[in-house]
Structure 1
Amino acid sequence: MLIYLVFAVVAGFLLANQNPINADLRKIVGSPFLASALSNFVGSIFLGIITIIVSHTLFPSWTFITGEPVWVWLGGLLGGIYLTSNVLLFPRLGAVQTVILPILGQILMGIVIDSFGWFGALQISLSTFRFIGILITLVGVLIAVVLPSLSGKSQAKSSSNETKNLLVWRVWAVIVGGLSAIQQAINGHLGTLLHNPSQASFVSFFLGFLAIFLVALIVDRRLPKFSELKKAKVWNGFGGILGALFVLTTVLAVPQIGAGLTIMMALIGQIVGSMLVQQFGWWRSLRYNIQRFQVIGVLVMLLGIVFIKFL
């Protein structure tokens, strides 16, 4: 069990590094959709190689595909929405908020999934401790997100339009976090149905690539230019691999330690990773010193997670 806990934490840390890598790729190709499509394409190839090595086949049988409900195949689409949203959110909200706000959505949606047993998850009732945990987590988000914003206003005033735009992006960040929780639950269930975690991860990632690629063609009406790709660094391709490893790890961990514990441990890794990315400006991202409000807020959120998942 310990090894799966460690896997989940490391996967969350890697996912926090995916955001700035893909954000930098967006600057190179000039489109969040093309950047997401390229990231998913690299991740699909990575998972495809692993799947062929492990199981000598890529896709499940047609009988299996037609015999399962449609929602089993939605994990890749939701993952594509989450990935593209992070590319858009990162330059607007910064590394920490881009992770913390989706975390709130993941926790809230994870509780709904557990309470009703959606997507093949084990049904867990909403206890008093879990409800207290939700309230504590909300307080942590307010401390980590709102207080630093208020303190920043003393240094620079923001226009009302900028404030409204930030609010819209923050709300969307919470929503995509909920979609991410649904994705993890669906992918975990798909891995159980297929009895093949690597194949389930590949199918999810590949479907996400197809969805993002079609959107990119419709919106941008072009493919990435070779002259643009020549400007990319080798590590600009790591985003897809990191995302693929995250999906693979969650598919492996969910059947072993449960969806709730997997999400929680991955969230801890994401929080730590995002704070380090912001502090040191990794992957050509802007450097911001971590504020004490953010540290306090994260610690309060972790306390809330403990109430939700352990008490």
Structure 2
Amino acid sequence: MSMILALLTGITISIMISVNGHLTAYAGPYLSAVFIHIVGTAFASLLCIWKKQPVLRNHGVPGWTYLGGVIGVLTTLFNNFAFSRISMTSIVALGLLGQSLTSALIDSLGLLGMKKHRLQKSAFIGIAISCTGVAVMLDASIADQAAAVLVSVGAGICVVLSRTVNARLSDKAGAFAGSFYNHLAGLPCCLALWLLFPDAPGRLLAKPAPWIFCGGMFGVMVVFLYNITVPRISAFRLTLLAFLGQMFTGITLDLLSRQDLSKGMLWGSVLCALGFLASVLMELPSKQNQAKKAVPVNHTDTSGS
């Protein structure tokens, strides 16, 4: 069930990115982020009221667990910086690299209060195949763009840190309340960025379709799904599953909109899928052995008493 939810997270991310992309084209990158966080905060508030999850109270957790939304804004900043310098395919690939490395580190060391997941040999094989997929997705645009490469990897690192911090908070506050705090914490940061880098007001003269403002709702659901899946499966496995859901949904959306499909993205995604499948299949025998050892031996009483 957790793996299905992880795939669903990736699917939701792709839809969210598509909706937010239309909003960004209308309002610009920073004002659109303000709209997204306002809608997300309002939508999460309604869900918290519906599920009776209290907000704006002390949940008995460290202060840093409320900063997931701030870290998430860094992801947006890093991606915006890289967008005009390297290709979108390279941004996605380098982001996946940052997510994979950070996830493996959190799994092996149990950082940020997460459960330790010892990396099996199968995981290293899966990582190697997945890294090959990342290499396939890279293109010539990264040449002489060291800063863009670094911030793209940093964006991937921030994705994992943000979802992990949010999950720590939601463990005490509730999954919807965690999503509320995520958007509320990010809102003042987005407002500050918009005031520092105001977008062209002429964009707002056209009448937009109302649905382009729904990205914040999808963002709430993404954070909600992460809050459920982060404590249940390893960070590395979650990264790959969410990526696969995101990539193949993105490819489907591109085909439906008749946009050009990057061969590097397609084959890189296939390799990442094969890497994940290989690691899962190689882990099955060890899990079956553990299950057999866990089954208690039934001693039948043959004494006749």
Same fold by TM-score greater than 0.5? yes
Match of 1:101 among 94, 98, 103: 94
The structure-2 alpha-carbon separation of the partners of 1:135 and 1:264, relative to structure 1 and needing over 3 Å to count, comes to closer
The structure-2 alpha-carbon separation of the partners of 1:128 and 1:261, relative to structure 1 and needing over 3 Å to count, comes to closer
Is 2:113 the partner of 1:110? no
Q: Describe the SS at the equivalent of 1:255.
A: coil
CA contact (8 A) 2:237 2:276 kept: no
CA contact (8 A) 1:42 1:237 kept: yes
Match of 1:295 among 246, 255, 266: 266
Deviation at 1:173, TM superposition (A): 1.9
For structure 1, which segment, 273-282 or 238-247, has the greater mean C-alpha deviation from structure 2 after superposition?
Answer: 273-282
**For residue 76 of structure 1, what is the aligned residue in structure 2?**
69
Match of 1:204 among 182, 189, 196: 182
Deviation at 1:80, TM superposition (A): 1.7
**For residue 144 of structure 1, what is the aligned residue in structure 2?**
137
**For residue 155 of structure 1, what is the aligned residue in structure 2?**
none
**For residue 166 of structure 2, what is the aligned residue in structure 1?**
187
- Identical columns (%): 23
Is 2:253 the partner of 1:277? yes
For structure 1, which segment, 196-205 or 227-236, has the greater mean C-alpha deviation from structure 2 after superposition?
Answer: 227-236
CA contact (8 A) 1:81 1:176 kept: yes
Alignment partners' CA distance in 2, 1:87 and 1:59: 31
Name the structure where helix makes up a greater proportion of residues. Answer: 1
Deviation at 1:132, TM superposition (A): 3.0
Is 2:80 the partner of 1:120? no
Letter of the 1:252 counterpart: I
CA contact (8 A) 2:96 2:134 kept: no
Letter of the 1:182 counterpart: L
CA contact (8 A) 2:163 2:223 kept: yes
Alignment partners' CA distance in 1, 2:47 and 2:33: 21
**For residue 218 of structure 1, what is the aligned residue in structure 2?**
196
CA contact (8 A) 1:89 1:173 kept: yes
Letter of the 2:151 counterpart: W
CA contact (8 A) 2:53 2:177 kept: no
- Residues 211-266 of structure 1 deviation map (CA, whole Å, 9 limit, x = unaligned): 2222222332x8x9597175322221122121111001111223344544433322
Q: Equivalent residues in 2 for 1:27-106 (5 A)?
A: 27-30=25-28, 32-55=29-52, 57-61=54-58, 64=59, 67-86=60-79, 96-106=89-99
Alignment partners' CA distance in 1, 2:32 and 2:143: 27
The structure-2 alpha-carbon separation of the partners of 1:23 and 1:193, relative to structure 1 and needing over 3 Å to count, comes to same
Deviation at 1:171, TM superposition (A): 3.4
Give TM-score scaled by structure 1 length.
0.79
Deviation at 1:97, TM superposition (A): 4.3
CA contact (8 A) 1:75 1:186 kept: yes
- Residues 183-220 of structure 1 deviation map (CA, whole Å, 9 limit, x = unaligned): 111111111122x1111111112101222222222332
Give TM-score scaled by structure 2 length.
0.80
Deviation at 1:22, TM superposition (A): 2.4
Q: What is the CA RMSD across the aligned residues, in angstroms?
A: 2.9
Alignment partners' CA distance in 2, 1:276 and 1:98: 19
CA contact (8 A) 1:25 1:236 kept: yes
Q: Describe the SS at the equivalent of 1:44.
A: helix
The structure-2 alpha-carbon separation of the partners of 1:261 and 1:127, relative to structure 1 and needing over 3 Å to count, comes to closer
CA contact (8 A) 1:8 1:262 kept: yes
Relative contact order, higher structure (CA 8 A, sep 6+)? 1
Q: Describe the SS at the equivalent of 1:200.
A: helix
Alignment partners' CA distance in 1, 2:134 and 2:27: 33
CA contact (8 A) 2:38 2:187 kept: yes
Q: Describe the SS at the equivalent of 1:59.
A: coil
Q: Describe the SS at the equivalent of 1:164.
A: coil
CA contact (8 A) 2:13 2:218 kept: yes
Structure 2 unaligned runs (5+)? 284-305
Match of 2:20 among 22, 25, 49: 22
